[in-house]
Structure 1
Amino acid sequence: MRLGVLDVGSNTVHLLVVDAHPGARPLPAHSHKADLRLAQLLDDDGAIGPDGVDRLIGVVHEALQAAEDKGVEEVLPFATSAVREARNADDVLARVRRETGVQLRVLTGEEEARLTFLAVRRWFGWSAGKLLVLDIGGGSLEIAYGIDEEPDAAASLPLGAGRLTAGWLPGDPPAAEDIRALRRHVRARIARTVGEFSRFGAPDHVVATSKTFKQLARIAGAARSAEGLYVQRDLKRESLEAWVPRLAGMTEDQRAELPGVSEGRAGQLLAGALVAEGAMDLFGVETLEICPWALREGVILRKLDHLTVT
């Protein structure tokens, strides 16, 4: 069957269309994205303003039309931290439902971590052993650890690249004192969580998902996306540590010229790099393996599991 996953995230609204069948890997058939940056549309009270809701509804309508054009049988819609944390989330969800017919399922941070972990486990397989999975989104950092398909520990921290950029790095390029303050904040927040995971022992593989990690790996020398999903891509801490001061001295336009960095995410890349560097350092990770599957694939796989049971 052809399924569509509609992901209303902090940076983008992304419709991923896949051909999916129980017992088979989902095959991507179409992708439709819109840079909405909901996390940056919050007002001083933490609410998504009327203009932001209007834009969200318009983008959802476009995604539904794209899904119809591609023959999608069912759309699985969900929202993450930007909607989850908005002060007027209930009103936003009600208006989206009323004007588009879409009932957005708001995932908790822990659900995000668990579904991402499921996708990574299926990609790497049982032989990969114990996995530590890191995912940097626009609004949050997800961490999960385990040996089965359900992680033994999962956490979500408010350390998304978009959130931190908007709240901590106003300059272009940002001031050195702002970067140091953000670095301290990131590391203190991650350090509070490390103990929850370290008690399970060292992982066999440390895996990263998300656009931020993929872009960091690319500028550090990983293969281009055009070379395919199955090419191994890594991010070494040594390389990342060398890149952080370089990114700090660049303007947003200069970062956008780096290989693999999209214009829409260039402004967030430094904050994402500080989170990635802090996580790798505090968890004692020298090399991250990049996984092409993440939250959207996890949602699809969970749906297929349900279809298998029924």
Structure 2
Amino acid sequence: MSSSEQGSSITPALQSVDAPLPFHDDLYAALDLGTNNCRLLIAQPTRPGHFRVVDAFSRIVRLGEGLAATGRLSNDAMDRAVEALRICALKLAAKPIRKMRLIATEACRAAANGEEFLARVTAETGLELEIIDRETEARLAVSGCSSLVGREARSIVLFDIGGGSSEIAVIRIADNRSSRLANHITHWTSLPVGVVTLSERYGGRDVTPDVFEAMICEVQGMLAKFDCPPPEAGGNGSDYDFHLIGTSGTVTTLAGVHLDLPRYDRRRVDGLWLSDAEVSAMQAKLLSWDFAGRAANPCIGPDRADLVLAGCAILEAIRRRWPSPRMRVADRGLREGLLTDMMADDGVWRRIRSRRSGSTGSGEVLRRR
């Protein structure tokens, strides 16, 4: 859940794009319909491993609201999601998309009427969404954060705290580093809990320290079933060999509060490093605020004030399982992973290098591959 996109949003780059795009046919789109959010990105590949966002949309739809209690998607929740998906369909139809991938995650996986709902989506919007499994979701989260992993890193735990599930990937990088970070996943798990399900179970408005600890303990119990050895220190034994990467609205919210931003700014948050002490301090600050105080904070807002402490509880359970001196914040996730994988599969960065190399000759291009 990205706190940078509450309601619909279009990137500043889109508003000023009047000149023709250099590779106008190379537009890719990724849509992620989750338990809490509906998100769309349309992007164009630039330098290897990177892309420029041409259009973006995100809306909180709470598709999984009440799902844990009933096992079904409610009519109101489905209506909210369909309304958001209609906007996405219009955006996709307005541009020459080379390739797109549209996915649905935990809410549609878990709901008895998930497939029925997606059939309605196709009938009413023309969009055909696929329900991905948990392993694919974990790999996509890793792919989306590849550019935030420095060359010095040897061991990483990357986590994505979602609305209905939380994916965790353990990554170990040897000297022979693959161009696709997901190839270095050694262990992964998907916890059947997210900010929506946990807050509904314990109540998200009035969270006491005892309730907060109870949420942490529940998640710790789930993590205890994850059979995974502790991270290995790198050759130089430095703290920089191992760290956490968090991609979710929980960690971006903590970063925004830490920076005391007057309004959320993705450019300042994405890639930010937080020390262990800073994360603890921000969690304590949020726990000290009542619902109104959380809702009044510009990096949280009323739509997520009842969810953020559940996310902090999941984060705290992860930190207790994998203590780390620092954590990197990622305001990116499944959509970025989808885009990265589609562009890499199509070889667009190799084609861009070929076009730009011009006089360097084919030998230079081959050495770069």
TM range (shorter): 0.7 to 0.9
Q: Are 1:189 and 2:214 counterparts? A: no
RMSD: 2.7
SS at match of 2:76: helix
| Conserved? CA contact 1:280–1:286, under 8 Å | no
Deviations for 1:204-258, whole angstroms, at most 9, x for unmatched residues? 3321112211111222338785472697512333233334344234332211223
SS at match of 1:196: coil
Q: Which residue number corresponds to residue 139 of structure 2?
A: 114
Report deviation, 1:288.
0.3
1:267 to 291, 297, 306: 306
Deviations for 1:280-301, whole angstroms, at most 9, x for unmatched residues? 1221122101133321111111
Q: For the structure 1 residues 260 and 58, does the alpha-carbon distance in structure 2 shift closer, same or farther, using more than 3 Å as the test?
A: closer
2:232 to 196, 201, 209: 201
| Conserved? CA contact 1:234–1:288, under 8 Å | yes
Stretches of structure 2 that go unaligned for 5 or more consecutive residues are 1-25, 234-240, 352-369
Q: Which residue number corresponds to residue 340 of structure 2?
A: 301
| Conserved? CA contact 1:216–1:235, under 8 Å | no
Q: How does 1:224-303 map to 2 (within 5 A)?
A: 226=265, 228=267, 232-303=271-342
| Conserved? CA contact 2:254–2:283, under 8 Å | no
Which is greater in Rg?
Answer: 2
| Conserved? CA contact 2:62–2:77, under 8 Å | no
Q: Are 1:213 and 2:244 counterparts? A: no
Report deviation, 1:131.
2.4
Q: For the structure 1 residues 46 and 133, does the alpha-carbon distance in structure 2 shift closer, same or farther, using more than 3 Å as the test?
A: same
Q: For the structure 1 residues 4 and 82, does the alpha-carbon distance in structure 2 shift closer, same or farther, using more than 3 Å as the test?
A: same
Q: Which residue number corresponds to residue 156 of structure 1?
A: 190
SS at match of 2:306: helix
Q: For the structure 1 residues 230 and 269, does the alpha-carbon distance in structure 2 shift closer, same or farther, using more than 3 Å as the test?
A: closer
Query: 1: distance between equivalents of 2:193 and 2:68?
Result: 19
Aligned residue identity for 2:244: V
Query: 1: distance between equivalents of 2:266 and 2:145?
Result: 20
Query: 1: distance between equivalents of 2:134 and 2:141?
Result: 11
What is the number of equivalent residue pairs in this alignment?
307
Q: Which has the higher mean CA deviation after the structures are superposed, 232-241 or 273-282?
A: 232-241
Aligned residue identity for 1:216: L
Query: 1: distance between equivalents of 2:337 and 2:291?
Result: 32
TM-score by length of 2: 0.74
Query: 2: distance between equivalents of 1:22 and 1:162?
Result: 37
Report deviation, 1:44.
3.8
Q: Which has the higher mean CA deviation after the structures are superposed, 42-51 or 104-113?
A: 42-51
SS at match of 1:217: helix
Query: 1: distance between equivalents of 2:242 and 2:68?
Result: 43
Deviations for 1:168-203, whole angstroms, at most 9, x for unmatched residues? 125x3234543332122122222332x4142x5245
Percentage of matched positions with identical amino acids: 25
Query: 1: distance between equivalents of 2:248 and 2:44?
Result: 21
Report deviation, 1:49.
2.4
Q: For the structure 1 residues 201 and 295, does the alpha-carbon distance in structure 2 shift closer, same or farther, using more than 3 Å as the test?
A: same
2:117 to 92, 113, 117: 92
